[in-house]
Amino acid sequence: MIRGFYIYKCKDCGKTFWDADIEKNCTADSMPVYCPECNSSNTKICLFKTLKALLKGEYGGKTR
Ligand SMILES: [Zn+2]
């Protein structure tokens, strides 16, 4: 189940990118999101950046 799209920030290389927040099986946990730059799973949601981008009508490179 996809809960939404968020901007994530990689704590290893500092890259920010859009990805989906996906439920892990039927738990409340989220699937780990991997950085497209360095493939690290050390990423976290940037809720503030996501809201700002949504308000500006930006959806990153995702075409849906
Ligand atoms: Zn990275």
The band of 26, judged by pLDDT with boundaries at 50, 70 and 90, is low
CA dist 13 and 25 (Å) reads: 29
The band of 3, judged by pLDDT with boundaries at 50, 70 and 90, is confident
- Joined tokens for residue 8: 């994530």
What sign results for the dihedral spanned by CA atoms 33, 30, 60, 15?
A: negative
According to the CATH classification, is domain 2-55 in 3.20.20.210?
Answer: no
- Compute the distance from residue 2 Cα to the ligand 1 centre, in Å: 22
Q: How much is the pLDDT for 62? A: 56
The answer to whether 50 touches 7, Cβ cutoff 8 Å, is: yes
Global confidence as pTM: 0.75
- Compute the distance from residue 44 Cα to the ligand 1 centre, in Å: 11
Q: Does residue 39 carry a pLDDT above 90?
A: yes
Residues 6+ apart with CB under 8 A from 1: 22, 23
- Joined tokens for residue 50: 């996501």
